[in-house]
Amino acid sequence: MLDLIWSAMMIISIICAGITGKIDLLSNAVLEGAEESIKIVIATLGVMTFWSGIMRIAEDSGLTNAIVKFLTPILKFIFPDYINEKKIIHPICMNIVANLLGLGNAATPFGLCAMKEMQKYNNSRDTATNGMITLLVINTACLQLIPTFLAALRKNYNSSNPFEILPALWLSSLTALTVGIALVKILGTRKQKSKTKSNALCKNF
């Protein structure tokens, strides 16, 4: 879907530039954007590499188990169906920790691993489970205690205080996370009740 969206945006931009006679401005913008993207990658590469390495060390050293134990009370509520499945809970924990450190790129592989394992327990292969939806909500809300990547970007653009956005970031992401999980729980419960009633009606017939 994203490839279609980006392709459509580029095609529309080229058409509009051609109609308005601003192809030269579009060409300059493309070249400047490419140059700027390389600068951003170089500026953030060190930070991302460092924290990604820390995440790998934590996983290999067994720190993951300590993190799982610490997060178990919360995970029991959020992922009750998978709390005893280490192949699911461990990558979920690492995904959450990576997001808390502001490492969206490092969190993605852990999230994909957890999703793959969840799918093995999914009876409806073409329908996401409540656990899958919940993990997606957590990643989308992206609660960050330390917005590493965002702070690196702000510093690259000469921000005098890259972390001054923390209060607003914490408030917005925590609100989105709370509302998202609440909706998943409420709608999931309603769906389960509806399914139970349907099964009861089928048995009566």
- Tokens representing 178 are 């709370």
Round to whole Å and give the CA distance between 162 and 150.
Answer: 8
Q: Which residue pairs from 40-46 have beta carbons closer than 8 angstroms and sit at least 24 positions apart in sequence?
A: 40/153, 40/156, 43/152, 43/153, 43/155, 43/156, 44/149, 44/152, 44/153, 44/156
**Which stretches of the chain score pLDDT less than 50?**
197-202
Taking only the tens place, the pLDDT of each residue in 47-69 is: 777 777 777 787 788 776 777 77
Residue-level pLDDT at 200: 47
Asked if 107 contacts 98 with a C-beta cutoff of 8 angstroms, the reply is yes
Name the token pair of 123: 């009876």
Alpha helices in 21-145 (DSSP H): 23-61, 63-78, 86-100, 104-120, 130-141
Please give the Cα distance from 75 to 125 (Å, whole number). Answer: 24
CB-neighbour burial class of residue 45 (10 A; exposed 0-12, middle 13-18, buried 19+):
exposed
In this prediction, residue 201 carries a pLDDT of 44
For the chain, the structural domain boundaries read 51-204
Closest CA to 88 of 55, 111, 66, 109: 111
